[in-house]
């Protein structure tokens, strides 16, 4: 799995681990597509935090951004 610079910065800012991101990708509670065809995946990770992960539509191993959801 590869992370954009933006995703790495957001992960550092919000204390989201690569394991959290992998968990969301493996078992999303919500799976949507944005207007560009990218997958928007939401799931709850440890501690009850909900995380949104955006994955490139043309490369599912590339994480565009990550951030907490309320």
What pairing do the DSSP bridges indicate for beta strands 49-55 and 39-45?
antiparallel
Tokens of 34: 């944005």
Output the pTM of the full model. 0.92
pLDDT by residue for the chain (70 residues), tens only, comes to 999 999 999 999 999 999 999 999 999 999 999 999 999 999 999 888 999 999 999 998 999 999 999 7
CB neighbours of 15 closer than 8 A, spacing ≥ 6?
none
| Pair 31, 41: CB distance under 8 Å | yes
């Amino acid at each position: 799995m590869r992370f954009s610079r933006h995703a790495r910065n957001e992960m550092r800012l919000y204390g989201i681990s690569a394991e959290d991101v992998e968990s969301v990708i493996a078992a999303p509670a919500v799976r949507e597509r944005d207007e560009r065809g990218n997958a928007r995946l939401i799931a709850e990770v440890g501690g009850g935090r909900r995380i949104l992960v955006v994955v490139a539509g043309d490369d599912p191993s590339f994480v565009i951004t990550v951030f907490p959801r309320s």
